[in-house]
A and B are shown apart, each in its own frame.
Chain A
Amino acid sequence: MNLNPFWSMSTNTVRKRSDGEEQSGEQQQPRASPARPSFGKKQLPSIPKNAVPITKPASPAAMAQLANGTHASYGPFYLEYSLLAEFTLVIKQKLPGIYVQPSYKSALMWFGVIFIRHGLYQDGVFKFTVYIPDNYPDGECPRVVFDIPVFHPLVDPVSGELDVRRAFTKWRRNHNHIWQVLMYARTVFYKINTMEPLNPEAAVLFFRYDKDVQLFKSKVVDSVKLCNSHLFDQPKMDDPYAISFSSWNPAIHDEAKERMFTHKRRPEDHQKGLQVSGLSWVKPGSTQPFSRDDNPPLS
């Protein structure tokens, strides 16, 4: 992940949906290593060689949030690590059918995709973006915006934004976590709620579900089809880590698939092959040193 955006935090570009264009200038600079580390592996922020010096002064807001008399210079690190911690949690949750990946440019923007496996929205593949407020975790709850507005009572038919706030009226640090937002985004497609809809049409149709099953269903099916038909489109954001789909290309994907399957077996190999450098002769359940009766393994 890249620290760079945090320096420009005060410019607030990150939160704008149009930041793709705004930051494209920087984007065109040659990147030495756009390759992303594998999931769950955090890599130190690489500072671009030719990073443009930020000349704007830090906004008072940004300074203000650094409580505890902390030096401003560490603020970005705290935010970065808070988000990394959140991301680590997401990985741990293993949410079914949901994949997210923070963007290259900003840890405050995560790309995601959700696969709906059954129910009305079965076979739907919806790409979305999570926007996290830059005063996280003290701000409002993160926003979830679908790339293509899905036909759903809680999804704004124009902006594609999911109504997350109804589930997280007040974002509480230590209590609320981003994985919960993602979980909510998934649940929405399985348990449909029509209260105070963002998409009244869908809500009304769904309300009349009993009478007009076919109409609602067909709208949903159309929407799912529409979304899926745009699956292979270029990602909306111009970001190296944006999620993009392409059709199956054995030359590329077979190998990747192979690796994914071997990856599953790796943990055991890992333990066998790698020489563990640690030592222990403590019998489990004891707190005495050298309490194990067997000899330590020789090899």
Chain B
Amino acid sequence: MMMASMVANGNRDGRQGEALVLKGVDPETCMIVFKNHWAQVVKILEKHDPLRSNTSSNMASAVQNYVEHMLFLLMEEDAGQAGAMGPILEFVVMENVMERLFLWSLRRQFTDDMKLEQLKMYEMIVGQARQPLLHHKPVLRPLMMLLSSCSGTAGPEVEAELVSLLNQLCCVLAKDQSVLELFFHTSEDQGAANFLIFSLLIPFIHREGLVGQQARDALLLIMSLSAENQRVAQHIAENTYFCPVLATGLSGLYSSLPTKLEVPGEEWHCLHREDWLQMPTLVQFLNSLEFCNAVIQVAHPSIRDQLVSYIYNGFLVPVLAPALHKLTLEEVMTTTAYLDLFVRSVSEPILLQTFLSFILLHRHENVHILDTLVSRINTPFQLGTVSLALFQTLIGLYCEDVMLQLILRYLIPCNHMMLSQRRVVKERDFYSVSAAKILALTPSCCSPEHSPPPLRQLDSILWSKGTDNKTEESFLEEDGSGYSCVIGSEIYLDVNYLHYLYNARLGISSCTRACQVWSAPYDGEDPPPEEYQPSALEEAGARGRQAQTVNPKRSHPHPRPRPPCPPQTTDPAPTNQLELEWDDSYDAGPVVPPEAATAESSRPPQPPAAEPPKHIQEMRRTAIMLVKGSYIEESDFQDDVMVYDLVAKKDEDHFKVSSLQEKDEVPLSNGLSLPPHPTNMEVNSSEVTKGSKEVKAHVADHNSNLQSPLATEVGDDLMDQYEELIRTLGSDEAGTGGSSHVKTVDKEFRNPVVTPMEEDEVDFSSFSVDTPELEKQHSSLFGTKLRSGSTRSHSVPFTGPFVSVLLSRLENMLDNSLHVNLLLTGILAQLAAYPQPLLQSFLLNTNMVFQPSVRSLYQVLASLKNQIEQQASTKKDFPELITSAQHCLLARESSLKGQDTNSGDSRECSPLEAGRMMKSSPPPQPKTISLARTEVFATVLFTEFLKELAAIAQEHSILSHVPMEE
């Protein structure tokens, strides 16, 4: 329509032209013109009531012509003296011009075109008037009527215009809060005490593109307003669906993410920026997550707390938790990668806390998410790598709660060391004894003296794990000489060790700085070991979890430790929430019809729907129960790799498996009491045997990489481990015979296995090999070990599953692929940089005497050295291969350095620099060496890792903030 087009143009050229025309025209003339126009309009309006007679289009366009001129006059008018209204505005107010115009259009057919026209009209005058217009009800009221009439069913053009106008209104609000009151009052006149501008924006929260962005910007303006204005905050928190829409919208967006990622290669382990930029649905999800982050940052605490609670109960628990327990390896791996990306994307502490408390404390199907994630580190598939990457992210947060749950809680009682060693915890290593001992593990084939001359001249093999390359570069700039040092031929000074020292220093000091906010020093005295003996811990843990809510107000029902309780049924399930069906409508534009919002507005929002969204429920339905393996000491984790190997042999073992499954109804532990049989392990985690074809394929791949050294050793190792287990458990009951040992073991295994049978959903028939659903049923493979804390004997020293699993994987270093080793050593170096004496002494102090059953990092390193020496002695070409691998890694390193110059997003990539090298295509190599020679690469990496650890130990000895021992 004409006016619309005129207005649209008027924003730019038209207005400028008009302004020029108006310049120099005196206000009185303008007033006269305005009044004349209005008189003409009024005549038409009175003569042609659209309800009575058909308004001719001539009349309509005549009106538009007049209005168009009038609006320009209004816009261009300056305010009167002392902020008084200009004469035209005063006239507009007195004569109720705007309302009459609006009513007139309303009485005609109120088409989208007409709405558009009116919206643009208001956008123009609100944005460009020289005096405040919105303070006047005769202007504001028709605007509000227009806005409410535009909500709901409108075409995309109207929506775009509506959001643009709303955005503009929010900008006005942000600048001038005095208008705010009027917005509320006006609404009250209409009988609905709501904040229309705000409600209208809500449906656009999750929109893609410009409209969504504008809406979110506008909402953020209101959010920061809420921080200062109690009334706004209260209204949003109590009378709107903002928080539930926002949080459950995440669920909706999440459901449209690919459930399986196409992974570029075996070495891929986390979603980098360049990865997710290729995925529009993920970009959209991250946009919404970022918006939540921003809201939490600026909004009033009441809104903030509510939102956080809805995210926890509306997204994390009902959506992400089941997704972490999906059916296939790929799906679970994908979810883990998403979770890692989300944690990296969130910056606001409170939101981060929400995610972390989900990871650390939430129980899904009665198993802590954390335990599940930790146990997955040991899967030889990509899931293991992705899980490692997630933990690298978590450890990199310098979060006390994370470190407490992962490691420190197991170290606090100091049971892992001999009693006499407690005083050693805080001791400073004055003479770098630990560093010397660590470096003394350098394999003879890799000792610097034995390095071939060309390598000595090369720069260095530097693994800048845990730090980003920027610092590395700055070091080189500062020092310019790091690489050009000429060293005498007799004394070989390991130049690259300097880099390790430098990086260690950076790592430790930033970690130390970060840990200043921690509640305790963890030095073996505070928290006092006596007060946190395992039994006490368990109780405290139970109490803590029961009482635990992120915030009392945030009332999300935390799962209690009391088993077994299906999470859904513990939640109160309000009914009216379900009627709204938040989830299904999110992707599809406007979610809340304002009528609905207003109708419900008198009631405060209900607690979040306990029912998970439909798609999740469906996933649930298809999901199956886990057979929870028991979890005992670290042997459990050590065995996982072998278990997977057994999966590969499933076909051969078909017979055994099915026979075992028949016995499933009776306590499974009997399998264990027959030690020397390899199928024991299948009993322990019989779920594994249900592996799908995909899994088998993976295992097969994996094994070909490993050249199946395990297959032959499994039997023996299992025996050894079994015996060790017996010994460990038996040590409690000195003097008892072998049979009682077995009983102990039985108990350990029986409890957890029996427990799931008490749950109703458990259907053991699904285990039978020929069940049609079998393909879907291997979920528990990457599922979990139940940490049977209550069954664990308290007196058995234990450094926690995380440390166990890390050391187990490290022990297999020679078989691990390069990228796994990079991640592993990276994480261990990250841990070693923590300044807490308990952690430091456990990882780095080689003089410390631990309990016999406790495995230390040093022990694992020493055993690796032996393995390497053995390899080196049996393979003639080993030194040659080492040299090739060194060259290969150097080339990769330098090509990585070249690549990294353009990496902008440091948070995104920095912790994983070392791993990223894997993305680069293999650089030219002096002598080709296949990456499949994992033992060769592992040897080189091992040597570098020793230097890295030694450097960290040395830096600790001079940076340590431990008070003097004297």
A residues within 8 Å of B by Cβ? 3, 7, 32, 42, 44-49, 51, 53-58, 67-74, 76-78, 81-82, 84-86, 88-89, 92-93, 137, 173-174, 177, 271, 274, 276-291, 293, 295-298
Contacts and interface: CB of A to CB of B under 8 A. Distances in A.
Interface in B477-529: 478-482, 484-495, 497-498, 501-502, 505, 510, 513-520, 527
A295 B544 CA distance: 17
Given A77-B954, A290-B550, A295-B301, 9 more contacts: A49-B480, A51-B485, A71-B439, A74-B494, A77-B497, A174-B431, A282-B519, A298-B304, A298-B350
A53 B492 CA distance: 11
Given A77-B497, A85-B958, A279 B431 contact: no
Query: Interface residues of A: mostly helix, strand, loop or mixed?
Result: loop
Contacts of B431: 78, 82, 85, 137, 173-174
9 contacts: A46-B479, A48-B481, A51-B486, A73-B448, A274-B513, A280-B517, A287-B537, A289-B361, A290-B401
A77 B501 contact: yes
Contacts of B25: none
B513 A279 contact: no
B765 interface: no
Contacts of B439: 70-71, 74
Nearest to B491: A58
A73 B493 contact: yes
Of the listed residues B398, B492, B505, B517, the one surrounded by the most CB atoms of chain A closer than 10 A to its CB is B517
A280 B518 contact: yes
A98 B289 CA distance: 57
Contacts of B513: 274, 276-278
B430 A71 contact: no
Given A77-B432, A289-B405, A47 B527 contact: no
Contacts of B488: 7, 53-56
A66 B231 CA distance: 73
A274 to B, nearest CB: 8
B491 A72 contact: yes
Contacts of B517: 276, 278-280
B585 interface: no
A44 B356 CA distance: 37
B601 interface: no
A278 B481 contact: no
4 closest cross-chain pairs (CB), A and B: A278-B514, A289-B401, A288-B544, A280-B400
Contacts of B401: 279-282, 289-290
B405 A279 contact: no
B440 A32 contact: no
Contact of B505 (A44, A58, A67, A69): A44
Contacts of B436: 67-68, 70, 74, 78
Contact of A289 (B404, B449, B498): B404
Contact of A279 (B400, B532, B545): B400
A88 B485 CA distance: 28
A231 to B, nearest CB: 32
Of the listed residues B432, B442, B510, the one surrounded by the most CB atoms of chain A closer than 10 A to its CB is B432
Contacts of A282: 400-401, 404, 518-520
B519 A57 contact: no
A118 B954 CA distance: 40
A290 B514 CA distance: 18
A212 to B, nearest CB: 40
Nearest to B428: A85
A67 B433 CA distance: 10
B437 interface: yes
Given A78-B436, A173-B431, A291 B544 contact: yes
A278 B491 contact: no
Contacts of A71: 439-440, 442, 447-449, 494
Contacts of B959: 42, 88
A65 to B, nearest CB: 11
B820 to A, nearest CB: 28
A54 B447 CA distance: 21
B350 A44 contact: no
Interface in B223-259: none
A45 B541 CA distance: 48
A284 B493 contact: no
B867 interface: no
Contacts of B518: 278, 280, 282
A206 B515 CA distance: 55
B353 A296 contact: yes
Nearest to B354: A290
B435 interface: yes
Interface in B419-464: 428-433, 435-437, 439-440, 442, 447-449
Contacts of A84: 957-958
Contacts of B495: 47
Contacts of A3: 493
B176 to A, nearest CB: 26
B269 interface: no
Contacts of B532: 287
Given A47-B479, A289-B361, A289-B404, A278 B428 contact: no
A7 B491 contact: yes
Contact of A295 (B442, B493, B514, B551): B551
A85 B480 contact: no
Contacts of A92: 964
Interface string B297-314: 100010011000000000
A276 B516 contact: yes
B958 A88 contact: yes
A271 to B, nearest CB: 7
A288 to B, nearest CB: 4
B548 A290 contact: yes
A81 B442 contact: no
B435 to A, nearest CB: 7
Given A285-B527, A286-B544, A44 B498 contact: yes
Contacts of A46: 478-479, 481
B399 interface: yes
A85 B433 CA distance: 13
A271 B516 contact: yes
B563 interface: no
B577 interface: no
B892 interface: no
B397 interface: yes
A75 B349 CA distance: 45
A61 B436 CA distance: 18
Contact of B430 (A45, A72, A85, A291): A85
Contacts of A173: 430-431
B578 interface: no
Given A74-B497, A77-B954, A286 B491 contact: no
A218 B552 CA distance: 77
Contacts of A297: 349
A57 B428 CA distance: 33
Given A71-B442, A287-B540, A81 B957 contact: yes
A284 B478 CA distance: 41
Contact of A42 (B353, B516, B548, B958): B958
Interface string B375-406: 00000000000000000000001111110110
Contacts of B482: 47
B540 A288 contact: yes
Contacts of A56: 488, 490
Interface string B104-131: 0000000000000000000000000000
Interface in B912-966: 950, 954, 957-959, 964
A274 B182 CA distance: 42
B733 to A, nearest CB: 29
Nearest to B492: A73
A271 B475 CA distance: 26
Of the listed residues B404, B437, B487, B514, the one surrounded by the most CB atoms of chain A closer than 10 A to its CB is B404
Nearest to B475: A44
Contacts of B478: 46
A69 B301 CA distance: 61
